[in-house]
Amino acid sequence: MTNQAPALTRKELFLRAARCEPVPRLPVWMMRQAGRYLPEYREIRAKHSFLEVCKTPDLAVEVSLQPFRRLGVDAIIIFSDILIPAEAMGLPLELGDAGPNLPEPVRTEADVKKLRIFDPEVETGFLMEALRRTVKQAGADVPVLGFAASPWTLACYMVEGRTKEGFATVKEFLYREPKIFRELLHKIAEATILYLKGQIAAGVSAVQLFDTWCGELDLQDYTEFVLPAVQEIIAGLGGTVPVIYYTKASHHLLPAIVRAGANVLSVDWRIPLAKVRELAGPRVAVQGNLDPAVLFAPPEKIRQATLEIAAELGGRGHILNLGHGILQQTLVEHAQLFIHTGQQAALAEAQPAGKSRS
Amino acid sequence: MTNQAPALTRKELFLRAARCEPVPRLPVWMMRQAGRYLPEYREIRAKHSFLEVCKTPDLAVEVSLQPFRRLGVDAIIIFSDILIPAEAMGLPLELGDAGPNLPEPVRTEADVKKLRIFDPEVETGFLMEALRRTVKQAGADVPVLGFAASPWTLACYMVEGRTKEGFATVKEFLYREPKIFRELLHKIAEATILYLKGQIAAGVSAVQLFDTWCGELDLQDYTEFVLPAVQEIIAGLGGTVPVIYYTKASHHLLPAIVRAGANVLSVDWRIPLAKVRELAGPRVAVQGNLDPAVLFAPPEKIRQATLEIAAELGGRGHILNLGHGILQQTLVEHAQLFIHTGQQAALAEAQPAGKSRS
């Protein structure tokens, strides 16, 4: 049993887990942890639009820190949106209640050529400033995470604009003009490297790539189009901080995903963590994977499901998280139960000399 | 090469494929083939609401036959909606442009108890009448297909009502009251058996179960809750006609899905057909699986992708279809190209004595 307070700081804990080194307990955080389930977040959003919060460092810092103060999570992810770089690349952006809209979508070679590789300090200075302040306020002991969309997921929004019905528009582009579509992905990758390097310079301890829509593709198209652009980003960052690659509904893509070069693979509840370990090997950490809907279950079920997941890798190379963003109607107490249960879970491999179980 | 006209009727062809018997060519149809991509369908829908078409046999027969007349598909699926039985079980139903809505959702044990096992000839007589007329008009040579939702997928709509955000409401029910939730699935299964038996009595050649939302569950919950209810339906139909079980985004569930007892497993483009054959064995037919978004690609890509899929099982035990419903903006000529290419594809096992390649 290792239920005593950890001797490591949260940042050491997080980085050790990301490097598959032994840890006394699991680091735990939640995707979309700065969000509408928190009353203090809703209070700010009652007065400011989503984009306003993203673009006002004071507000972005405040909402980024809220889940840390309230729940004691082990990592603070910066409050922002994956579509911010789309705007910085030159596309007008609306983030309304009906979901995001890009009223001038990318549909032609000329549209791709017009996209700008942007200077993150110039075009997204608000984020870099919010990051620096968040890192400072979090202090040396708490890791702050940066993030970006994967090129495919950003391309989905850029090309579809709004609807995404069957992802027909973005796939039509891919099939009609595979070469230009690859250029689009490559251009997004280039911009994303600079964007994430900016975040790293601002002090983040790790970055996460969100590939929310990769699961719409079959293994062949994913491997041919998406994977190289993800690999390009991860290679381009040069290993300065751990890269977490999140993929949703990606069970059929796993054989390719493990080749992305990510330090941490973040998956949803459809994929057993042990399956990722088996395919990715013991040097790749795994993040996940409680179904956010389980936080709507009775407390005993939340506890039990969290402990099962915490035990799945014996504690080695595992960052505990949800399988997708926390849902708006989640009770704060249930989120808290997840975090605390995960942080207190006894680990088979909590001792430095422990052997991998899987 | 077996490009000559088939000696078998479409119905024989379809049933032989469903039973994994040798065929001279693949039978081909499309999910949602009676739909908005057809101008003649839009013409009728300009004058009648979706539910009105479902509930008026003259109109339902007409739109069911449209894709057969226009495209020469090898099976006619009756025009209806998977939510019709929810209404027949006692839940008010609205099918508006914003998607379906069940304003009195099922949330408690009392709600489950109130649901009625209905007499299909009384509560859904319009469908039975539409089926009899469609079967008559189609003639002895063309198979007509009936269908229903799987219990889980219908339960998602019944419990969620409208939103389905993260499927949190239906999963909350499942985790909070697993026993009552099982009763709900069992009750839907019971009603569905009668509903499909009514369709079989009306003359359909096969029935399809649509499990659009099974992919939201992990393998454990699917196996524990959903699979038994699907097995109950398939067993309850007693093998009178082939049962096709369609599952979407279900790669992670395949080891359980193959145990459903279905004669035909219908999957989307995320699952290679050969993988289904490998897991299900040579006695289970496979239906699928062109990504409907591929119909937005240039004709050469449609042809090539269709031929690749047609070749994947060598022609044995394969009903060619899309991986999900045809999309509204699809060009009719592109749908036609898919159907004709599939029907004309040369098959490695077109000879009766052919051996399975996979």
- Span B23-45, pLDDT tens digits: 999 999 999 999 999 999 999 99
Quick one: DSSP state of residue A296?
G
pLDDT at A274: 98
| Predicted confidence (pLDDT) per residue in B285-320, tens digit | 999 999 999 999 999 999 999 999 999 999 999 999
Q: Is the pLDDT of residue B163 over 80?
A: no
Q: Is there a contact between A171 and B252 if contact means CB atoms under 8 Å apart?
A: no
Cα–Cα distances in angstroms (integers) from residue A357 to residues A3, A274, A314, A349, B351, in the given order: 20, 9, 6, 8, 51
Taking CB atoms and an 8 Å limit, are A291 and B328 in contact across chains?
no
Cβ–Cβ of B218/A297 closer than 8 Å?
no
pLDDT at A351: 54
Structure tokens at B1: 């090469």
Q: Mind listing the pLDDT tens digit for each residue in A115-137? A: 999 999 999 999 999 999 999 99
Task: Determine the average pLDDT of the residues in A19-33.
Answer: 97
What are the residue numbers of the active site of B?
32, 36, 45, 81, 157
pLDDT at A249: 97
Angle between helices B332-344 and B299-311 (to 10 degrees): 30
Q: Report how many Cβ contacts below 8 Å link chain A to chain B.
A: 80
**Encoded amino acid at B154, one letter:** L
Mean pLDDT for the stretch of residues B234-251: 98
**Residue A103 and residue A94: Cα distance in Å, rounded?**
8
Rounded to an integer, the average pLDDT of A21-43 is: 97
pLDDT class of A99 with cuts at 50, 70, 90: confident
Structure confidence at residue A182 (pLDDT): 98
Across the interface, whether the CB atoms of B172 and A296 are under 8 A apart is answered yes
pLDDT reported for residue A54: 97
Mean pLDDT, rounded, of chain A: 95
Which segments within B89-234 are labelled E, that is strand? Answer: 94-96, 99-101, 144-149, 206-211
| Position A6 pLDDT exceeds 80 | no
- Percentage above 70 pLDDT, chain A: 96
pLDDT band at A98 (very low <50, low <70, confident <90, very high): confident
Distance from CA of B272 to the nearest CA of A (A): 9
* CA separation for the pair A64, A135 (Å, rounded): 10
Which of A317-326, A344-353, B217-226 is least confident? A344-353
Name residue A146's beta-bridge partners. Answer: A207
- Cβ atoms of B345 and B311 within 8 Å: the answer is yes
Instruction: Report pLDDT for B358.
Output: 37
Q: Round the average pLDDT of chain B to a whole number and report it.
A: 95
- Tell me how far apart the alpha carbons of residues B72 and B343 are, in angstroms, rounded to a whole number: 10
Which of A138, A131, A133, A92 lies closest to A111 in space, CA to CA? A92
B-chain residues within 8 Å CB-CB of A169? 296
More confident of the two residues B6 and B207: B207
Residue B164: predicted pLDDT: 79
Q: What is the pLDDT of residues B329-356, one digit of tens each?
A: 999 999 999 999 999 999 987 655 333 3
Residues, chain B: 358
Query: Which pLDDT tens digit goes with each residue over A222-245?
Result: 999 999 999 999 999 999 999 999
Does residue B17 contact residue B23 with C-beta atoms inside 8 Å? yes
In B, which residues are within 8 Å of A298 by CB distance? 175-176
What was the pLDDT predicted at A358? 37
Question: Would you kindly state where each structural domain of chain A is located, as residue ranges?
Answer: 10-344
**Secondary-structure class of domain A10-344 per CATH:** alpha beta
Instruction: Strands of B200-310 (E only): list them.
Output: 206-211, 243-247, 264-266, 285-290
* Token representation of residue B284: 């289970």
CB B64 within 8 A of CB B78: yes
Chain A residues near residue B219 by CB distance under 8 angstroms: 270, 272
ipTM: 0.93
- Interface check for B308 against chain A (CB to CB < 8 A): the answer is no
Q: Quick check: B238 pLDDT over 90? A: yes
Burial pattern A202-228, b for ≥16 Cβ within 10 A else e, equals bbbbbbbbbbbbbbbbbbebbbebbbb
Q: What pLDDT, on the 0 to 100 scale, is given for residue A349?
A: 74
- Comparing A5-19, A183-197, A310-324, A329-343, which segment has the lowest mean pLDDT? A5-19
pLDDT score at B97: 76
Whether B357 shows a pLDDT value over 50: the answer reads no
Say whether pLDDT at B246 is over 70: yes
**Mean pLDDT, range A71-98, rounded to an integer:** 95
